[in-house]
């Protein structure tokens, strides 16, 4: 197998790894991607002594078989099944927790000040007062 075909083969075998998503099917896609790459490499090793066409067939068969087996193994992985089974069920009808209400804050502008002796100068600034603390709500 020449270098040009090898580049295309590697690109083809890596597509399932690049295109996986972050859902519960991630394990399936990851398994299929790893299986495709591993199957293609095993097929290349097995078909290395044959003709060019035999090599390509061995790689293709290995990649397809590896992808199918890897996808099946990935879909049956315990992490995929345990996530759905380990989600705690809440007894109440409302599964959402209460939210935290914002506090009531009053903002007061303090003007520039010079003290009575004329030795201190304080620039204007905001003073924030919490009038009501935060609380839980629904």
Q: Angle of helix 3-18 relative to helix 52-75, nearest 10 degrees?
A: 10
- Answer whether residue 4 shows pLDDT above 70: no
- What confidence score (pLDDT) does residue 25 get? 65
* Residue 84 near residue 75 (C-beta atoms within 8 A): no
Q: Mind spelling out the 3-state secondary structure of 96-109?
A: CCCEEECCEEEEEE
Q: Which residues contact residue 31 at a Cβ distance below 8 angstroms, ignoring those fewer than 6 apart?
A: 70, 71, 72, 73, 74, 75, 77
DSSP letters, 61-85, are HHHHHHHHHHHHHHHT-HHHHHHHH
Residue-wise pLDDT for 56-92, tens only, equals 888 888 888 888 888 888 877 665 445 555 566 656 6
Q: Concatenated DSSP letters for 11-65?
A: HHHHHHHHT--SSTTHHHHHHHHHHHHHHHHHHHHHGGGS-HHHHHHHHHHHHHH
Residue at token pair 């590896």: 66
pLDDT at 101 over 50: yes
Residue found under tokens 């049956």: 76
Of these ranges, 13-22, 32-41, 81-90, 109-118, the one predicted with the greatest mean pLDDT is: 109-118
Q: 83, 74, 82: which is closest to 28 by C-alpha?
A: 74
Average pLDDT over residues 4-28: 61
């Amino acid at each position: 197998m020449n270098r040009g075909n090898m580049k295309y083969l590697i690109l083809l075998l890596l597509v399932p790894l690049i295109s996986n998503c972050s859902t519960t099917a991630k394990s399936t896609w990851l398994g299929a991607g790893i299986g495709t790459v591993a199957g293609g490499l095993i097929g290349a090793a097995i078909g290395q002594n044959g003709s060019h066409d035999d090599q390509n067939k061995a790689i293709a068969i290995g990649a397809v078989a590896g992808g199918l087996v890897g996808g099946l193994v990935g879909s049956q992985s315990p992490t995929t099944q345990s996530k759905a089974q380990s989600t705690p069920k809440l007894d109440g009808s409302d599964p959402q927790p209460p939210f935290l209400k914002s506090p009531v804050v009053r903002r007061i502008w303090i003007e520039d000040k010079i003290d009575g002796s004329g030795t201190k100068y304080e620039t204007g600034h905001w003073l924030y007062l919490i009038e009501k603390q935060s609380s839980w709500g629904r």
